[in-house]
Amino acid sequence: MSSISKSPIAAALLGALAIAAVGTAAAQEAVVGAGDAEALFTSPDPKLHANKQVVYRVVRDLLEANHWELAEDLITERYIQHNPNAVSGRAGVVAYFTQVLKRAPTPIPARISTPIVAVTAEGDLVTVLYPRVLPDKADPSKTYSTTWFDTWRIKDGKIDEHWDPATRD
């Protein structure tokens, strides 16, 4: 047995380096969307299916096509927002996308084009995972792949609350 493997400090250091190396290698895998994103917004459970379909319309009609005039059909008036860049209330989220981000409407597509990794539903919550590519702060000439998520609470067939990992702009 070598003197390195006999030292608890050296063994811990080697273990930490091994874990870091595995973590770095695993982080190199690109996050990719599912082949059939539409199928992810379905469920054999009628309530979960209905909730996923509300979120599907939010992704397609509001986030992709920017038809915020449809927000009244999809978002409660009290809408609770946990993103630090937008205020709560349906009027607040509509203003954020139409006035702050200045997104103009485009035709609503027959199928979504946003890459989707997964959609999960449990009770009144629906979470959508998206692939995301960001610039590498250590080397701005490079990018890395990660995952974004949105979670929505559905109440009476409309989005009532929202979470995502956004930080202040």
Q: Where are the domains of the chain?
A: 1-28, 31-163
Q: What number of residues does the chain have?
A: 169
Grade residue 85 by pLDDT with cuts at 50, 70 and 90: confident
119 in Cβ contact with 52 (< 8 Å): yes
Which of 7-21, 33-47, 133-147 has maximum average pLDDT?
33-47
- Strands 75-81, 118-122: pairing kind: unpaired
pLDDT of residue 7: 54
Q: Between 169 and 5, whose confidence is greater?
A: 169
Residues 32-64: tens digit of each pLDDT: 999 999 999 999 999 999 999 999 999 999 999
Q: Is the pLDDT of residue 110 over 80?
A: yes
pTM for the structure as a whole: 0.80
Q: Across the strands, what pairs with 161? A: 80, 153
Which CATH architecture does the domain made up of 31-163 adopt?
Roll (3.10)
Could you give the angle at the alpha carbon of 165 between the alpha carbons of 131 and 96, nearest 5°? 95
Q: Is the pLDDT of residue 10 over 80?
A: no
Q: Between 23 and 165, whose confidence is greater?
A: 165
